Copies of this chain bind each other. A is one copy, B any other.
Amino acid sequence: MTTISRSPTPDSTTALPRVEQRSAIPLGFRAGGSAAGIKASGRPDLAVVTTTNGPAAAAAVFTPNTFAAAPVRLSKAHLAATSGDSRAGFGWAEAIVSTSGSANAATGLAGDADQAEIASMLSVVTGVAIERTLHLSTGIIGTRLPLGLVQAGLAKLVPTLAASDDGLLAAAEALRTTDSVTKVASTTIGLPDADGRPVTVTICGIAKGVGMIHPMMATMLSIVLTDAAVAPETLWSLLRPAAARTWDQLSIDGDTSTNDTVFALASGGSGATTAETGSETAQRLGAAIEAIARDLARQQAADGEGATTLITAAVTGARDDAEARAVARIVVSSSLVKAAAHGRDPNWGRVAGAAGNARLASAAVLEAAGLPAAEAKVRAGTPAVLDPAKLRISISGHLVFDGAQGGPLEFDRPAASEAMNAPEVVFGLDLGLGSGRGEAFGCDLTETYVIENSEYTT
């Protein structure tokens, strides 16, 4: 039997490079953000990222919501156009625009026309071909974007874009809606250049949370930039499993948004050689992308609407990783577990109850995570295997349930409650069945979440 980690901050389930929560713009990009007036509050609401030397390899994952917003549909069309691949997961891009304050979702044909108009405006002001623009938007569903404000904002913002860390930080700030903090993560790795000498490759991601978060094969708005050299389809093959292990394991309130999008852009500006599919270089680049994705997902969970603590479910001993992730995800998604975390109540019964409902992800997510297509199809939605007699549960380091010892354990309840009074509450579940590992991230359910969402129109 594997042991339950007593560490309050669990390790990732895969070996990942260390991440810093600071902006570090990779070579080959410019970025910036500003207040265009879309938000009545006057806070930043317009972000633009452009490349400095022509098209970057681009990969994306999008929301599966049937009401996918206009920016999602347009971005897919542009990726498909530039790659010729109908899956719309990768292609070439030179500019990303993000508007915040209006989601441009469920706005019908008029919303599509608005987004096309924004692509055209962006093309005019940047000189980038329309089909090489990518689009993000977040905010209230069903309201139209104020095109005049966006046009004026772009005209003012684009000339100020900077190939600097501050420029990218300004873009991250402009992604925010109800986020209380700006979310950014960066890392560097050494990858070989054409002569085999190591060069520094930077990977930096920015993201927003913080409500309507329960990604399925997608995530909230996020942009991951790197100066690594990699073909679009290879980049996609790295982004999909990383998202499946990180953002797809994030739940704040169980609602999958209409606008979820992650873009990864690789400029090649570092001078490193192209990371070929299946190579060790690609593997290392993938791990770095996953490290960024994981850190941003944790930042998003910690900043969930109304949240006072990050909740992590760390599952070991599953039959395989897919089952471990299913168990982890349902634990952090449970309203009752989330409310117990809020009350700092070491209520393992709710954790066990939630775990007992675990069902494997959809075929698309399972396949993205690496399962063969046929197996993904058969196993999608089936129950994860748990044996109550083998399960062990720990809460923030306190072992509270051990199936092999009859189940419930005597434990120091006040000490466990005290341990939960921290910025991160960790539910450890060791299923005792195999070597599968997985994790998921969420947050506590608070009165503030209810108040914010019953008074705020999203």
Contacts and interface: CB of A to CB of B under 8 A. Distances in A.
Contacts of A357: 64-66, 216, 255-256
A12 B403 CA distance: 44
Max chain B Cβ within 10 angstroms of own Cβ: one of A65, A143, A345, A454: A454
**Interface residues on chain A, size class:** 35 or more
Nearest to A358: B66
A17 interface: no
B255 A66 contact: no
Nearest to A387: B66
Nearest to A384: B66
A45 to B, nearest CB: 18
A180 to B, nearest CB: 18
A66 B429 CA distance: 15
Contact of A340 (B108, B389, B447, B453): B453
A260 to B, nearest CB: 11
Given A64-B383, A347-B458, A449-B450, A108 B403 contact: yes
A401 B106 contact: yes
B353 A407 contact: no
Interface in A321-371: 333-336, 339-340, 342-343, 345, 347-350, 352-359, 362
B449 A340 contact: no
A455 interface: yes
B257 A353 contact: yes
A67 B345 CA distance: 20
B445 A450 contact: yes
Contacts of A342: 450, 454
A140 interface: yes
Contact of A458 (B253, B349, B380, B449): B349
A457 interface: yes
Contacts of A333: 254
A457 B336 contact: no
A212 B336 contact: yes
Interface of A: 64-68, 103, 105-111, 140-143, 211-212, 216, 253-258, 333-336, 339-340, 342-343, 345, 347-350, 352-359, 362, 380-381, 383-386, 388-389, 401, 403, 406-408, 444-447, 449-451, 453-455, 457-458
Given A142-B407, A255-B350, 11 more contacts: A66-B357, A106-B349, A110-B407, A255-B335, A255-B357, A256-B353, A257-B353, A343-B455, A380-B381, A445-B453, A449-B450
The 8 residue pairs across chains A and B that have the minimum distance between CB atoms:
A141-B349, A343-B454, A67-B356, A339-B453, A108-B407, A66-B356, A381-B381, A65-B356
